Chain A
Amino acid sequence: MKARAFKYVRAETVEAAFDAYAEADGDCVYLAGGQSLVPSLSLRLQAPAVLIDISRIEALTGISKSGDVLRVGALTRHAEMLTSPEIARHAPLLRRAAPYVAHPAIRNKGTFGGTIALADPAAEFPAMTLALDAEFEIAGPDGRRTMKADGFFRDLFDTGLEPGEILVAIHIPVFGANDRCVFHELARRRGDYAVVGSGIQGTFDGDRLLSARIAFLSVASTPVRARHAEAAIANQVLSPEVIAAAQAALSEDLDPEDNEETSAAMRMHLARVLLGRLLGQLGRADCMHEGVHA
């Protein structure tokens, strides 16, 4: 349970990180919060020659609003997602998901960008970037680019980040006056990985839902958007019949696999139950006034 020996480099700037990356000839990993990386190194699932610590790069920190976009620095810690007034106001879906991210001590160190770059399909925030139609600001040795959350999560722990690239910030369309969002997950124990989890954000015109984005976690090798279920509720009042139609459509969106703990049928059932509960909650006009579990 001890990491293989490595050379440690602390990069103070993004450019310095790229220089270290080039010098290591790719045999290196970037370290941010380290809450998943350090155990991975300890188990020697990864054994790079060089560890490049990017956790103190100032340019990767901060939360700011510009026009109708909220920019969340990749090094923003999960604990800050819980307490930041900007997150609560402009990206309340993340505020609602944050209490479900691991435990308090992990939240004190783990970073928002780190969990997205890792892309654990059971993690809350990567899936929520799909529901929020987020865009990722990515820096690489050859320049900057942006990428939509849709299409970013390619496979298990495999993302649109190219070797050597660093996720700089996450851009999120700010929450509108007619928007509502809900999040919940089913887990055996608080703080444990969810058997299934989901977050939904939608825009309403009175009681009628104009459109919504539904994201699921812990149902496949990547976070998943439930596009058929979204289509079933678009331009509808969320009546029991409409919700039932969305639940039925879910079988076209999700195709979970059996594993040791949960059968595919069980997970699909729980996903439908969860979707029903969340849509029921979303349909209520006072849904944004409900207390958020902290």
Chain B
Amino acid sequence: MSERVPIALEVNGETVARTIEPRMSLADFLREELELTGTHLGCEMGVCGACLVLLNGKAVHACLMFAVQAHGERVETVEGLTERKAIADIQEAFHNNNALQCGFCTTGMLVTAHEMLSRGDILSREEIRDGLSGNYCRCTGYQAIVNSIETVAQARAVAGAAPSKPE
């Protein structure tokens, strides 16, 4: 048993402090210490993308870093993105297109979609598929997911709205 260490970080806009084992992954920290279970654990090897969160505004695998590494940093999970309505239109498009089957991968897909769409580019289907290459849907529901992201990309372009803040 290694010595536990204190950490403090910002999660979904609030500062949280805990004392944890250094070997605890950020994903386990979010799920077990903070009960933010929207961050899913699939492969725990950085392949499936179910655990994606934003670290200082960039999508990263919460299974591929230890919580202690996030000390002093800013983390946002799918719960935070949902609460501040940063992904409301993406969620609506997923809903309308039934862009899920079992739904396990959905939260990671939403985080990826958010980062992709936050760049403000007009995304081709090929670019969307490329962007999704780090996310596995074991039910193979990609078609509807790509359709949803494409729909939002076009809607945002038409609205001329500034892309939502990549935070």
Contact residues of A between 39 and 54, Cβ < 8 Å to B: 39, 41-43, 51, 53
Check if B115 sits within 8 Å of A2, measured CB to CB. Answer: no
Q: A2-B23, A38-B64 are in contact. Are A105 and B5 (CB under 8 A)?
A: no
Q: Which of the candidate stretches B88-96, B125-133, B147-155 sits at the interface with the other chain? A: B125-133
A157 at the binding interface (Cβ < 8 Å): no
Chain A interface, >50% SS class: loop
Cα A193 to Cα B115 in complex, Å, equals 23
Residue of A2, A105, A192 touching B61 (CB-CB under 8 A) = A105
Cα A53 to Cα B22 in complex, Å, equals 11
Q: How far does the Cβ of B130 sit from chain A's closest Cβ, in whole Å? A: 5
Check if A106 sits within 8 Å of B61, measured CB to CB. Answer: yes
Check if A191 sits within 8 Å of B134, measured CB to CB. Answer: yes
Check if B64 sits within 8 Å of A103, measured CB to CB. Answer: no
Please count how many residues in chain A sit with their CB below 8 Å of the partner chain's CB atoms: 35
Cα A5 to Cα B24 in complex, Å, equals 9
Chain B residues closer than 8 Å to A7, beta-carbon distance: 2-3, 22
Q: A53-B69, A103-B134 are in contact. Are A34 and B2 (CB under 8 A)?
A: no
Check if B65 sits within 8 Å of A102, measured CB to CB. Answer: no
Chain B interface, >50% SS class: mixed
Which residue on B lies nearest to A77, using beta carbons? B58
Cα A8 to Cα B24 in complex, Å, equals 11
Contact with B along A170-204 (1 / 0, CB 8 A): 00000000000000000001111000000000000
B87 at the binding interface (Cβ < 8 Å): no
Check if A39 sits within 8 Å of B46, measured CB to CB. Answer: yes
Check if B112 sits within 8 Å of A105, measured CB to CB. Answer: yes
Residue of A10, A41, A189 touching B133 (CB-CB under 8 A) = A189
A229 at the binding interface (Cβ < 8 Å): no
B110 at the binding interface (Cβ < 8 Å): no
Check if A104 sits within 8 Å of B115, measured CB to CB. Answer: yes
A90 at the binding interface (Cβ < 8 Å): no
Which residue on B lies nearest to A55, using beta carbons? B69
Check if B134 sits within 8 Å of A102, measured CB to CB. Answer: yes
Residue of A4, A6, A34, A191 touching B65 (CB-CB under 8 A) = A34
Cα A3 to Cα B21 in complex, Å, equals 11
Check if A104 sits within 8 Å of B23, measured CB to CB. Answer: no
Chain A residues closer than 8 Å to B55, beta-carbon distance: 108-109
Could you name 23 residue pairs across A and B whose Cβ atoms are closer than 8 Å? A1-B45, A5-B1, A5-B2, A5-B23, A6-B2, A6-B23, A7-B2, A8-B5, A8-B66, A39-B44, A42-B25, A51-B22, A51-B66, A104-B112, A105-B60, A106-B64, A106-B134, A109-B61, A109-B65, A191-B130, A191-B133, A191-B134, A293-B130
Beyond known contacts A8-B2, A35-B46: 7 more, CB 8 A cutoff? A1-B44, A4-B23, A39-B45, A103-B133, A104-B59, A106-B134, A293-B130
